[in-house]
Chain A
């Protein structure tokens, strides 16, 4: 098979990609997926020349990332869709079609990803509609009763039971990928901090990894450890807020406010490191901007010790409450094979029993030397997603205390060179929600050719639709909160 195999954060030359003809391209990708690879991106190399596309597929078992090129310069921008056999590609094909006018032939459900009123294929998109006398449709959003991000949800219901949920997003489309191409390197890092407000560190981490890889920058061990500590603190903070949200959605006021209080401690720890509670300004190319001195370490350790002690008690209270368990268990189930077929990532995949963790399968930064344990649960319901958060908080705390105890010495910043011309890099990291991938290509003049971002929400929104099947409509907010997906990260 003609494909380029690279590792996470490995520089490669664009010329090393084999560009295959239409049919060969399709077959190669199909074979790879047959072998258990998962699609990460389907995008042109050059945004202004969409005829050459690449499919990026990751293989968790060998930690390799396959890049398959396809050349469509002869003939129409058409290919036979994979989505009928591999539903995980469905959304990637829609995205490619929406952005560059490709037509996936025989695609089962070609729908807009971000743009409203866009014509895909040849007819305007109509929302899926169930027919029947007792069927009713409930459309929610994009403006909601509470102050939350915009998303449009269409439920096809029979009484309280949901048969189908269709999610329409894109109301927060800001053109982030395009902005990357237009901005200077100093602006890019700030841009990456604001891709999704709740994953500031995750996206910045991925962005810095990609740029450092392109510029052959070696980081000091200390800088890498500080980065992973910050990333784990973000995980703790967001998992606490997720658990609080779940407790709040079942109206369980006591744990909800306790988790809220503990989250403050976690984000204050981040603030004590870099002055921003969401971790803005911590990352710079070549390292981190702020070092950990004894005073900061003390604050962080003290805060996190309180979190460790209290979260154990609150978890015990929440997960032993009969009322809470009756709400959480067997609500919004996504079975393992379904999760695998639609390509769920991160937290949602692990709670369905899939072993998907970029920190383990595609180790990067300090995770290469300091492994983290894989935690999976098998039931795939709201309970599993809540419980997994609790377990991951414990593991993240263990990891942080471990790292702080053995903090390596060294500079926190290395000099950064120019980016390599005519090259590409794929950077995968595990944000708190799941796999974040940043794929970047440069041209001969060292300018960015394309910058592709894949937020875990892109994969997992579809999982939420599936979780809602045969579930009561009144359980939707709970299921939604258990996935806790980003609108901004999806809409870009």
Chain B
């Protein structure tokens, strides 16, 4: 029991520590692919340190929502991170039904971020909040149709159990995992406001989705938001990597190798996708998200007909 808690604590520390580097690696990949040298992969840490030291200035029209939202954001994301397995270690928080908690604790973070964006009273932020809320509506079914379908098939409702119970006895399971990983990737792209849904590098306030909501935040508050967004990206990366665990034997070393190589591999995929795709027109984004949902539904169909 004691050793499990220790493993859980190490897992969460790893996720929190590595998250900014993951974002840095994606940016580095992107830079290399477009023929630039790019910022060092440690750049997000430097940025975070810079923001950490700065003073927070809040809009005069903002209320307490703006002040509690950044910290709530970070706390909820750390809680979500504590539910994810690193390698074959049991996460800190794991119980039957934790996929629901996982989905809605991320929803809570978003809820407060949207509230805070509207709280400031700028028309931009309101616009960003409206966009975020709209696209979240389409993103939620993706999660439940993919993770939910695995849960339905395996009969388990905890993230850790689900990932580690899948037995590759039937060929359809492998198809299944490939399909799931595609739709989780699309979900990750949406939730973490990456291309082709949102452009994390744009400076154009009218086209932003996520960035525009935090346009008026500064200093330590911005640090909290930025750090949460790095963690969020890495949470989805871990969710994606976890699909590869069933391909190996249950050994700690193999788990760690999959974790590391999976993360690095995913930065390549993200880097390539962000280089060769252009952003979708905003009105086409729901179609893209519904496509990912449709993939999730496909899973259930495959299961039903190959059982």
- Chain A 230-273 per-residue mask, 1 if CB under 8 angstroms from chain B, else 0: 00000000000000000101111110111001000000000000
Q: Which B residues lie within 8 Å of A252 (CB)?
A: 277-279
Q: Which B residues lie within 8 Å of A326 (CB)?
A: 280-281, 284
B48 on the A face (CB < 8 A): no
Q: Which A residues lie within 8 Å of B196 (CB)?
A: 251, 323
B61 on the A face (CB < 8 A): no
Kindly provide the distance from the CB of A129 to the nearest chain B CB, expressed in whole angstroms: 13
Q: Which A residues lie within 8 Å of B199 (CB)?
A: 251
Partner of B206, one of A253, A327, A331, A476: A476
Residues 365-422 of A contacting B (Cβ, < 8 Å):
none
Considering the chains assembled together, what is the distance between the CA atoms of A258 and B276 in angstroms? 12
A1 on the B face (CB < 8 A): no
Q: Is the CB of B205 within 8 A of A251?
A: no
Chain B interface extent, by class: 20 to 34
- Chain B 72-83 per-residue mask, 1 if CB under 8 angstroms from chain A, else 0: 000000000000
Residues 69-112 of B contacting A (Cβ, < 8 Å):
none
Q: Which A residues lie within 8 Å of B127 (CB)?
A: 138, 473
Considering the chains assembled together, what is the distance between the CA atoms of A475 and B276 in angstroms? 20
Considering the chains assembled together, what is the distance between the CA atoms of A247 and B199 in angstroms? 12
Considering the chains assembled together, what is the distance between the CA atoms of A140 and B196 in angstroms? 24
Q: Which B residues lie within 8 Å of A160 (CB)?
A: 282-283
Considering the chains assembled together, what is the distance between the CA atoms of A258 and B34 in angstroms? 8
Kindly provide the distance from the CB of B126 to the nearest chain A CB, expressed in whole angstroms: 8
Kindly provide the distance from the CB of B209 to the nearest chain A CB, expressed in whole angstroms: 9
A477 on the B face (CB < 8 A): yes
What is the chain A residue whose CB lies nearest that of B30?
A253
Partner of B277, one of A323, A474, A477: A323
Partner of A137, one of B34, B123, B205, B279: B123
Scoring B202, B206, B283 by chain A CB atoms within 10 A of each residue's CB, the highest score goes to: B206
Q: Which A residues lie within 8 Å of B279 (CB)?
A: 250-252, 323, 327
* CB-CB under 8 A for A144 and B283, given A139-B123, A323-B196: no
Q: Is the CB of A323 within 8 A of B278?
A: yes
Residues 118-136 of A contacting B (Cβ, < 8 Å):
136
Scoring B275, B281, B282 by chain A CB atoms within 10 A of each residue's CB, the highest score goes to: B281
* CB-CB under 8 A for A145 and B215, given A251-B195, A257-B35: yes
Q: Which A residues lie within 8 Å of B205 (CB)?
A: 140, 144-145
Q: How many residues of A contact B (CB 8 A)?
A: 36
Q: Is the CB of A254 within 8 A of B206?
A: no
* CB-CB under 8 A for A472 and B35, given A140-B206, A254-B275: no
Number of A-B residue pairs having CB atoms within 8 Å of each other in the complex: 91
* CB-CB under 8 A for A323 and B206, given A138-B123, A253-B30: no
- Chain B 249-288 per-residue mask, 1 if CB under 8 angstroms from chain A, else 0: 0000000000000000000000000111111111110000
Considering the chains assembled together, what is the distance between the CA atoms of A324 and B204 in angstroms? 18
B203 on the A face (CB < 8 A): yes
A321 on the B face (CB < 8 A): yes
What is the chain B residue whose CB lies nearest that of A148?
B203
Considering the chains assembled together, what is the distance between the CA atoms of A472 and B195 in angstroms? 19
Q: Is the CB of B278 within 8 A of A327?
A: yes
Kindly provide the distance from the CB of A315 to the nearest chain B CB, expressed in whole angstroms: 15
Q: Which A residues lie within 8 Å of B207 (CB)?
A: 249, 474-478
B136 on the A face (CB < 8 A): no
Q: Is the CB of A324 within 8 A of B278?
A: yes
Q: Is the CB of B281 within 8 A of A253?
A: no
Partner of B203, one of A146, A253, A475, A476: A146
Considering the chains assembled together, what is the distance between the CA atoms of A327 and B274 in angstroms? 16
What is the chain A residue whose CB lies nearest that of B209?
A474
B182 on the A face (CB < 8 A): no
Partner of A475, one of B35, B201, B278, B281: B281
- Chain A 294-337 per-residue mask, 1 if CB under 8 angstroms from chain B, else 0: 00000000000000000000000000010110110001000000
Considering the chains assembled together, what is the distance between the CA atoms of A472 and B284 in angstroms? 12
B124 on the A face (CB < 8 A): yes
Q: Which A residues lie within 8 Å of B282 (CB)?
A: 160, 472, 474-475
Considering the chains assembled together, what is the distance between the CA atoms of A324 and B278 in angstroms? 6
Q: Which B residues lie within 8 Å of A137 (CB)?
A: 123
Q: Is the CB of A472 within 8 A of B281?
A: yes
Kindly provide the distance from the CB of A118 to the nearest chain B CB, expressed in whole angstroms: 26
Considering the chains assembled together, what is the distance between the CA atoms of A323 and B34 in angstroms? 18
Q: Which B residues lie within 8 Å of A139 (CB)?
A: 123
B53 on the A face (CB < 8 A): no
Considering the chains assembled together, what is the distance between the CA atoms of A253 and B199 in angstroms? 10
B307 on the A face (CB < 8 A): no
Q: Which B residues lie within 8 Å of A250 (CB)?
A: 278-279
A-B contact pairs, 22 of them (CB 8 A): A136-B123, A139-B123, A148-B203, A160-B282, A249-B202, A251-B195, A251-B199, A253-B30, A254-B33, A254-B275, A321-B278, A326-B281, A327-B278, A327-B279, A331-B281, A473-B206, A474-B206, A474-B282, A476-B207, A477-B202, A477-B206, A478-B207
What 7 A-B pairs are tightest by C-beta distance, nearest first? A146-B203, A251-B279, A252-B278, A257-B34, A477-B204, A251-B199, A323-B278
Q: What 11 additional pairs, Cβ within 8 angstroms, besides A252-B279, A257-B34, A323-B279?
A: A136-B123, A137-B123, A138-B127, A140-B124, A140-B205, A251-B196, A252-B278, A253-B30, A254-B275, A326-B284, A477-B202
- Spell out A's residues near B (CB within 8 Å): 136-140, 144-148, 159-160, 247, 249-254, 256-258, 261, 321, 323-324, 326-327, 331, 472-478
